[in-house]
Amino acid sequence: MQYTKKRLTMSSIVRYSSRKISQDFHRKTRHCHVLFVVLAIIIQRSHIKVKAECRAHGCPLTAIDIIHDEYAKEALSVLRRIETKRSIDNEKGDGDHSNGNNRNSDLRENALSALQPAGDDSKTTMTLRGYKGGEVEDQINQDRAVVVSPLNILPDSSKSKPVAQLLGVFDGHGRGGEKTSQYAVEHVPSLLAAKLTSIILESENNQGGQRNVDNELEIIEALKQTFDEVDKNDPSRGSAGCTATVVLRLEHKLFVANAGDSVSFVGVYFGGQSLSTPVRDNVQIVYQSREDKPDLPEEKARIIAAGGYVDIPLDENHDVPRALDENRRYGLAMSRSLGDWKVLGVIAEPIVDVLDLSEIVQKALGSYTESCSNNVNNKENTNEKNRYCDFVDNSDIHIFATSISDGMMDYLSPNDIGKTLATSFFDQDSNLHPHSAAEKLVIDAAKGWEDEFRGEYRDDIAIASFVVPYL
């Protein structure tokens, strides 16, 4: 297949050089009244969208396409130019132009208002449609991502509600996989919220009005039932499917449910007023979900026991292990998913892991103490500032959670992703907003696809992330 005029490369959709950004910034700020009008239209549209999406369980924010959503593309472009200008001014020590700064602040606020459907300072979700050959306009994005923070799991009449958040990514595959992922992103939050509400209300009735949100087994079962119900109601009727990876925060615990090869991870960031010197490794990934692959021994055994077949290529460069349908024509590169009924042995039941926020914080404090002690005791350390350890308390530990599709995971590590996101969430000296951070990560992943496939193929890319406030 030849792709000449129709080849889709990142260079044809993103111009990211500092010189052009600077030139665009000066040109557009001279015509800022035009931008105000454009952004006002975008804001009106985005506010309507947010209002329309609110449900009893909260206001789900779904991923916006950084390129193919024209409203989002323009707002992100404005935000990027302002952030780049700020960085340049900070490096030059030239940041006291009050009139220009006020004008830029107004433009930035308008851009952020336009991007409200994707989140705010504490949450973000972005996507980019892939390219699988053929006409550009015929491409379909099968990735979906969602953030619901807060997640409402009790009626509005309740005196107090448990602290709850939810995020997730659903990566569709097969012909019609976008139908499965769309159904999942629309129904997982509402189904799960309803089940959690029933669990909590029942516990109150059984315990004389005392609320119990610590029943891990019931919450795990609620997650499994939610995945199962979405699977059974797959609009593709099992001819296609999608991954499902979600992070549920409920009070002081995180529940991570995963089916497929999308990934969720949890990170911590060290930073605060107590730290007089920067921590060398100020971002740590403390948890990462497993990618469900058909060649994993227990997964392969289950598939075979169910009458399925697992193909493991002899040449790793030729293909990846796949679970095959009964005709051995359709191969699935995962052992768990929503949908995909015709691939025997592939199940929708997620693996659910439970993390305690207090344990995450304590382990992070222990890790800091050990790292700092090693640095202090290092005889080669001649920096006086590094000859002692700061007293670090809980307020210096910040937690965030992220879900990504394999379109990003294939080219970026959780550690690289975590550093970019954490800096935008928590570093007060950073000019990078979480939306810009997510956009940058999507672009970096897309460039990885371009470098390898020279514009002839790129998978869909999606990311969702939020701050997890520690109580």
Cβ-Cβ contacts under 8 Å for 363 (sequence gap 6 or more)? 286
- Are residues 169 and 145 in contact, defined by beta-carbon separation less than 8 angstroms? yes
Cβ-Cβ contacts under 8 Å for 397 (sequence gap 6 or more)? 268, 269, 270, 361, 364, 365, 470
Take residue 293 and report the two structure tokens written for it: 């692959």
Domain 10-292+334-468: assigned CATH number: 3.60.40.10
- Are residues 235 and 180 in contact, defined by beta-carbon separation less than 8 angstroms? yes
Spell out the per-residue pLDDT of the chain, length 471, in tens: 333 334 555 555 454 434 444 444 445 444 444 455 455 555 455 443 444 478 889 999 999 999 999 999 999 999 999 988 877 776 666 555 555 567 788 899 999 999 999 999 999 999 999 999 999 889 999 999 999 999 999 877 666 788 999 999 999 999 999 999 999 999 999 999 999 999 998 887 777 666 667 789 999 999 999 999 999 999 999 999 999 999 999 999 999 999 999 999 999 998 866 565 556 678 999 999 999 999 999 999 999 999 999 999 887 667 899 999 888 878 899 999 999 999 999 999 999 999 999 999 988 888 777 777 766 666 665 555 555 666 677 788 999 999 999 999 999 999 999 999 999 999 988 889 999 999 999 999 999 999 999 999 999 999 999 999 986
Going through 377-454 in order, the beta strands assigned E by DSSP cover 397-404
Take residue 127 and report the two structure tokens written for it: 């996507």
Q: Could you tell me which of 468, 37, 8 has the C-alpha nearest to residue 254?
A: 468
Q: Model pTM?
A: 0.86
Terminal-to-terminal C-alpha distance of the chain: 56
Cα–Cα distance list, 317 to 244, 271, 313, 321 (Å): 27, 42, 9, 11
- Are residues 133 and 458 in contact, defined by beta-carbon separation less than 8 angstroms? no
Q: Domain map of the chain by residue range?
A: 10-292+334-468
Sequence letter at residue 353? D
Strand partners, 311: 322
Sequence letter at residue 347? I
